[in-house]
A and B are shown apart, each in its own frame.
Chain A
Amino acid sequence: MNTEELRDAARVAYDRELAKQNINTAIESRMTVNYGGGMFIVTQELIAFLHSWFGPNWKDWDGVIYMMDAYDVPVKVIPHELLYICQRRWWEVMNEFAAEYEEFTKIRNAKQL
């Protein structure tokens, strides 16, 4: 690197908040699963909703419900099946997110990119 290039490199700033949001956006767009011909966005709310079918009064119930998928198409859902798929996806993606976030915390300036 010549002096001019070194000077340019030193002047480049790094926006940590933007870097964090870039990771979040990439992670969020991975939080989708297919089930019964539909597409669902995996959220904490969806996981909690599916789990609610296993409360005290629904114990041992193994029926079918209908849900709208992300594209507003009604899909026949067996709650425990979709719950398992969502939980697995959540686990995979959030583990990746944790690894990436750890890398991100080590970056202090643009030169480390």
Chain B
Amino acid sequence: MQNNSKGCLIAAFDNENYIYFDMAMIAADRVAKHLNIPVTIVTDRTDGNIGPHKRIVVEKPGNNWRSDDTTWRNLIRTKLYDLSPYDRTLIIDGDYFICTSNLLPHLNSNVDFIMTKQVYNLTNHKLESFKLGNTRIDMYWATVCIFNKCNESHRIFEMAKHVQEHYEYYSILYEYRRVPIRNDFIFSVALHLMGGYGMKDYSFKNYPLVNCDSKIDYDRFEDDKLVYRYITDKVYANSIKNIDLHLMNKDQF
């Protein structure tokens, strides 16, 4: 392991519909450009040009069925603590487009573990925090996470592994949907348990997650500016730039 090293991990496992590896490469290039830190892609693919980035090859995680009947190979997130070669690691999803250096102050701070919780809504300009299931614990989004290699982070990831392993039990206990298995839910439960049953806040401060989800249509994305449409009482168009974007609609890439 490098001493006092900082870097980014992105997991990428292709399925029958999407080549996540290519998406991860785009995301990795953006991390290198805006944050200037090394990037390691965790994948099962040994082929494909990795450019200036590094690669950790692991076995493809098991199937996770989505409602659209496609497989989703997302169940590696809880193992990223063990796989990370860095002392301080940034984890992002492959569809997270870094457009700014806004994450750097968080990366350069001393906090041991943070994960995104607040979401900026692109259709009604509200900052929203979601609750999980009927038990209404705070919901975290595993899309962006920063952690130190330390006891606290290690315990959180170990608890997350446990929640993943006993997902059905926790889905009944916390009363949330069992299928598909979501990393957001796994970490929400793990952070609730490890933070003294919700006493501790692990959220990013002043860094809302901008989820560009199925409620909006992407018109175009150029020069880090997204022009999008959405429907409320009528069809609207608007734009957003100079902020990191979670481009969730993979069909519209």
Residue numbers of A with Cβ under 8 A of B are 8, 11-15, 17-19, 21-22, 25-34, 37-39, 41, 69-71, 73, 96, 100, 110, 113
Contacts and interface: CB of A to CB of B under 8 A. Distances in A.
Contacts, number: 99
B236 A32 contact: no
Interface stretch (B31-39, B79-87, B131-139, B204-212): B204-212
Interface residues of B, number: 34
Contacts of B208: 25, 29
A100 B234 CA distance: 27
A29 B125 contact: no
Given A17-B125, A37-B109, A41-B205, A113 B102 contact: no
B205 A70 contact: yes
A30 B102 contact: yes
A26 B100 CA distance: 10
6 contacts: A14-B238, A22-B125, A26-B100, A34-B109, A70-B109, A110-B236
B100 A30 contact: yes
A17 B109 CA distance: 34
A19 B225 CA distance: 13
Nearest to B234: A13
A113 B205 contact: no
B234 A21 contact: no
Interface in B190-230: 205-208, 210, 219, 227, 229
Given A25-B120, A38-B109, A69-B109, A13 B236 contact: yes
B235 A26 contact: no
Interface string B101-121: 010111011110010000010
Given A18-B236, A110-B237, 19 more contacts: A12-B229, A13-B236, A15-B236, A22-B238, A22-B239, A27-B242, A30-B100, A30-B242, A32-B206, A33-B105, A34-B105, A38-B109, A39-B108, A41-B206, A71-B110, A73-B111, A110-B238, A113-B219, A113-B237
